[in-house]
Amino acid sequence: MEAERSRSQVVPMRRLALLLGGLAMFGPFSIDTIFPAFPAIGAELGADKLAMQQTISIYLVAYALMSVVHGPLSDAIGRRKVILGGLAVFAIASAGCALATDFGTLLAFRTLQGLSAGVGLIVGRAVIRDVLHGDDAQRLMSQVSMIFGIAPAIAPIIGGWLLGWSHWPMIFWFLVAWALALLAATWWGLPETHPAAERLVPEPSRLLRDYWGIFANPRFQRLAAAGTFNFGALFLYIASAPAFVLDLLRLDEKSFAWFFVPMIGGMMLGAWTSGRIAGKVAGVSQVRAGFACCGVAMVANLGYYALVAEPSVPWAVMPMALNSFGIALVFPILTLAILDMYPRQRGSASSLQAFTGLVINALIAGVLSPMVSGSGIALAIGAALFAFAAWAFWRWELHASG
């Protein structure tokens, strides 16, 4: 505890929250900024809607595969080096996407983007737990979540503006600039929070044993599944955003804000609420309230599509705003519970939690979303099933630990 307090004193919390929030944002930026450009990219590179969907799924698969490396690598060589290296690779990959002249090249550099994009979110979680504990860690996690939540709301808006101002490669040049700005900010503003004395020897055999020990832990499985499926209800809509906004809501490429702003507004409000009630409301009670919000949102969503033949704004997007509010209440409690299970392996625990979620998200984007995104009621049913599964795993955890 003394070591944690001393480390937190050398890192101003407001600066740390802004920096970690910015680092977490460039992953969502990579997904959402290009949504408005899907038709233009597909037309120029000869890719249909299904092929363009793979620019999301291949990114997420690469993100998931590399996520199991980011955390343990930061446990072994330090958080700062891993973040700086990931940002440099991401900038190169984004430049490659901007210069792509065929769809295969675009997919190759999207893969490289995915391999590097996880450092901000995954290693950033470990940084939070390096410097703070308990309610203070929850407050910082919530502040980072608020900043992070801005990304999915403004990314497609920025993408639409850039597309209206220039050609689609300008979106990827924007990502290059964002990565370089974060690299400079990290270089000057983030000290090393994981001292050499606490680092683990990077032995592959030990890493595999550690991963197996974490993954085989039934409590980790329950907590990770609850968080993954809870966010999966929302991510199904995020992955289906082009079809949902352009085809179902019949809006244009500059109207993605109708979907993303209410959704992210709910998430930011939930993150703010989580920070405000930290230390005042028990974590279990907060999670229960979050799942209650998600349940009400799913019922409202299903009811809306049962009554309305053609969805329209704002009513079609309001249930997802409430759902994202509930998710933001649940997320910090589940994440900190997982990290606190492994105080010397926080990077590995964060990586494996991220890997679990990313694998499911990749399946949602590449398999489930193309199957259900053409129908509003199918999307609503899919989201409701994910939310119910998340709640069931949480109830299982309460019963097992109770």
Cα gap 25→19, rounded to integer Å: 10
- With bands split at pLDDT 50, 70 and 90, how would you rate the model's confidence at 8? very low
Query: What average pLDDT does the segment 160-172 reach?
Result: 87
Which pLDDT band, with edges at 50, 70 and 90, does 202 fall under?
Answer: low
Indicate left, alpha or beta for 134 from its phi (over 0: left) and psi (-120 to 50: alpha). left
What does the pLDDT look like over 72-118, one tens digit per residue? 788 788 888 889 999 999 999 999 999 999 999 999 999 999 999 88
Token reading at 138: 């929850």
**Residue-wise pLDDT tens digits, 390-402:** 999 999 999 998 6
Instruction: Tally the residues of the chain.
Output: 402
pTM given for the model: 0.73
Question: Please, are residues 366 and 235 in contact by the beta-carbon 8 Å criterion?
Answer: no
Please state, in angstroms and rounded to a whole number, the distance separating the CA atoms of residues 184 and 237. Answer: 34
- And the tokens for 153? 């709301």
Report pLDDT for 392: 97
Q: Domain ranges in the chain?
A: 2-189+212-401
Tokens of 24: 């977490």
pLDDT confidence of residue 402: 66
Of 159, 322, 131, 344, nearest in space to 242 by CA:
159
- Can you tell me the mean pLDDT for 2-27? 66
Identify the residue whose tokens are 């994440």: 335
Is the predicted pLDDT of residue 9 greater than 70, yes or no? no
Predicted confidence (pLDDT) at residue 366 exceeds the cutoff of 90: no
Q: Helix, strand, or coil here: 343?
A: coil
pLDDT in tens, 281-305: 888 999 999 999 999 999 999 999 9
Architecture of domain 2-189+212-401 in this structure? Up-down Bundle (1.20)
pLDDT in tens, 206-240: 777 877 888 889 999 999 999 999 999 998 998 88
